[in-house]
Chains A and B, each alone.
Chain A
Amino acid sequence: MRLLPFEYAVRNLGRSPLRLGISVLGSLLVVVLATSAYAFVRGMDRSLARSGSPNNVILLGAGSEESIERSEISSSVASHALASIPGIQTWSGQANVSPEIHAALGVSLEKSSEPIGQAVFRGVTSAAYSVHPQVRIIEGRTPSTGADELIVGQLASTRLGIASDLIAVGQTLWIDGRPFTIVGQFAAPNTVMNAELWIPLTSIQTLTRREGVSCVVLTLDEAEFADVDLFVKSRVDLELAAISETEYYEQLSAFYQPVKMMVWITAILIGAGGLLGGLNTMYAAFASRVREVGTLQSLGYPRRAIVINFLQESLLAAAAGAVIGSLICLLLLDGISIRFSMGAFGLMLDAPTIGFGIAAGLVLGFVGSIPPALRCLRLPIAEALKAN
């Protein structure tokens, strides 16, 4: 098949700067939105997917499987589980059994001031650091039991909506009128823990006036989930439920599904609006070139070659918009963390996300040019040559 030279498509782009501008802008808009939506959803999914370890099992109150914060179980569950379930992983002689309290509490920067917001606290013992290996202390040290100390995650400031230096190591946070010194900062990249504040279990028990705990997290070694399940079923008096940590966060991800759907629907609707505007422009652009198409056909170029040329033209404009849109996303969105519902997560702006955005822009260029190009080629050559 005899194709039109690529330069022909490139030169045609410059014929109407206004139309080129509209096409590039439409593609740019779609790419920015598609990339933002994908980065949001992937960032949220990643933070939930990486929060769970496949070998970890959570013991929590029966009926509270949807939310650890709602659960309350006896403090003795940890020792019962350790004694009854053989094959729990150990680290330096200590069993990986972590009793924890998860609670959202108000935090103030000064003694008598209004809370700046609520942060997610996790009351832990030393076992938590081996049960959740994603957590690494990057500054300072772990809080001492009995002292009013805590450590903060990298995104805790985002969660609280304050500057990071206000909760730097050495600063003080007030909880329930009690001062707590920040003695360390931890990183648990791309997990929900990254936006949490960790505090000794006994301190949070005192703060919340609770005797029990929210859950016990176990790391299995030789033991299997069935062993934990058997323990739960044999100790009916403890009113427990067992759920693998991965499954728990999958459920949480499903809980956010309507929010994610809403983000997608908004992006798709705006994309569709952009596509319709683009189609309108392309129809007008190609319709004014009916005579040119007739001439090309009479010169011996087959219809398919002309469609390919129109496609190249449209894809070039869309690609230009896609590249600019991706650059804007990289400049504006990279490194941004979103404060959302008892946590915070970073937008995921990696190669697949950028690739998705560019693909969306190119699809727009492709879909937006085919119907007008085909319509333009409908006329017989003789009529096309007579067209105004």
Chain B
Amino acid sequence: MIRIKFWPLVIKQVVRHRVRTLLTVAGVGIAMYLFVAIQAMQKGVAEATQASAADTTLVVYREDRFCPFTSRLPEYYLPKIKAIDGVESAVPIRVVVNNCRASLDVVTFRGVPRDQFADTIGRDVEVQDGSLDAWKKRSDAALLGETLAARRGLKTGDQFDAAGITAYVAGILASDHAQDQNVAYVHLDFLQQQTDKKLGTVTQFNVKVDDPSKLDAVSAEIDALFASAEQPTTTRSEKAFVAQVAGDMIELIGFTRYLGWGCLVAVLALVGNAIVLSVQDRIKEHAILQTLGYPSSLIGRLIVTEAVVLGTVGGLVGAGAALLTIRLTRMSFSVDGLSIPIDAGPLLLATGLLLSVALGVFAGLVPAIQAARRPIVTCFRAI
């Protein structure tokens, strides 16, 4: 946009009014911080709810129930589900949460039969610390999702209490699946005894189908099989299930999108305001530059570059700080035992930066055009 030899001029302008620059950069930083945080929440919702062609997991839940406290299915449904054509595997899961309500620090226990873990859920997760053998050996052992472990500061060998259950951390697991990152996997019988004082009742069945195209057919067949049973079922894809159960929270997070747009407008206003003020202060200077032979288009470009510098520095500070906060706090929204992670990666940082640059250009355009069009004589008279 401008040649390298003019960059010192731009930097000098930015540094000359330190207070103004600091205030603008801080303001842009705050706005971009909020924007990136909001985008991270939106990304979490998309990851947890948007189905992809490769999805093969179905969740069998009690019909018309959305809360793990009220979905109670007999464990003996398992062989009938497994016998359905297209079902690759099925695992009964008992879900216990410290509270069904939505918040940011909810602990979700998932009880899974110890012999079935490795062949079902274990295929999608990687035990990073500790071992699966250690988990199998101990009845109160738990494998913690890395988000939960990081948030609660737990490591292998620790004991922790939540939802009235005391468990031993046998390992920490990593997974790309949103629902595996914020849970504690324990033995099914252990969880049943701790909560129901009896065996035989589970919250849901997670069913893997052998072909993604069979999802609808298999779910319809499962529901038809138990339509007149003691506990009828509703079977949905895992992501559709999350979308329905966490609907309130998703709606609320969706609403913050407007706040995100508001943040971008704030960036525009802050940079625009700073540049307008800066240009007003320098009318005489622009006249001198024009007298020295600087073309008006170059003056305009110098102003736009100044706006871009302010936007970029502010964007870098804000987006970087947001990324750091999200990575350090490892927060995730939880509702009814389901997680919506707040997750930000380098792509979001790059998006934030690009938007800051674009907004800088946009914010600087009007004052730049005005300054470029102002004749030298008018500039001198304006003093």
Contacts and interface: CB of A to CB of B under 8 A. Distances in A.
B83 interface: no
B215 to A, nearest CB: 18
Contact of A64 (B31, B34, B164, B231): B164
A67 B101 contact: yes
Interface stretch (A144-152, A278-286, A304-312, A350-358): A278-286
Contacts of A252: 99, 101
Interface in A358-375: 375
B259 interface: yes
Q: Which of B67, B70, B165, B269 has the most A CB atoms < 10 Å from its CB?
A: B70
Q: Which of B195, B273, B280 has the most A CB atoms < 10 Å from its CB?
A: B273
A interface, size bucket: 35 or more
B274 interface: yes
A269 interface: yes
B23 A209 contact: no
Interface in B154-193: 163-165
Interface string A22-35: 10000000000000
A277 B269 contact: yes
Nearest to B161: A63
A106 B270 contact: no
B164 A276 contact: no
A255 interface: yes
A339 interface: yes
A322 B178 CA distance: 43
Contact of B69 (A104, A176, A259): A104
Interface in A116-133: 117-118
A105 B65 contact: yes
B10 interface: no
Contacts of B251: 339
B interface, size bucket: 35 or more
Contact of A115 (B26, B30, B64, B281): B64
A260 B18 CA distance: 36
Given A105-B64, A276-B23, A69 B274 contact: no
Contacts of A10: none
Given A67-B99, A259-B104, A283 B19 contact: yes
B230 A266 contact: no
Interface in B88-132: 96-105
Given A63-B163, A64-B164, A283-B19, A341 B101 contact: yes
A269 B98 CA distance: 31
Contacts of A22: 273
B96 A70 contact: yes
Interface in B11-36: 19-20, 23-24, 26-27, 30-31, 33-34
A27 to B, nearest CB: 14
A272 interface: yes
A284 B23 CA distance: 12
B54 interface: no
Nearest to A279: B23
B335 interface: yes
A242 to B, nearest CB: 15
Nearest to B197: A239
A375 B18 CA distance: 13
B284 to A, nearest CB: 8
Contacts of A280: 20, 23-24, 27, 270, 273-274, 277
A276 B26 contact: yes
A15 to B, nearest CB: 14
B375 interface: no
Q: Which of A65, A105, A118 has the most B CB atoms < 10 Å from its CB?
A: A118
B230 A209 contact: yes
Contacts of B105: 258
Contacts of B383: 388
A276 B29 CA distance: 11
B259 A341 contact: no
Interface string A208-247: 1100000000000000000000000000000000000000
Given A280-B274, A284-B277, A340-B102, A106 B248 contact: no
Contacts of B362: none
A381 B230 CA distance: 91
B164 A62 contact: yes
Given A62-B164, A63-B164, A106 B66 contact: yes
Interface in B214-252: 230-231, 247-249, 251-252
Q: Which of B26, B97, B103, B231 has the most A CB atoms < 10 Å from its CB?
A: B103
A255 B277 contact: no
A175 B64 contact: yes
Q: What are the 10 tightest A-B residue pairs by CB atom distance, in nearest-first order? A: A63-B164, A106-B64, A258-B104, A341-B102, A276-B27, A104-B67, A284-B277, A341-B101, A273-B30, A67-B99
11 contacts: A63-B163, A63-B194, A67-B69, A104-B66, A104-B69, A259-B103, A262-B104, A266-B34, A280-B277, A283-B20, A340-B248
Given A105-B65, A283-B19, A341-B248, 20 more contacts: A66-B98, A66-B99, A69-B69, A104-B69, A108-B64, A118-B65, A252-B99, A256-B103, A259-B102, A262-B104, A269-B30, A273-B31, A273-B266, A276-B26, A276-B30, A280-B270, A283-B23, A284-B277, A284-B281, A388-B383
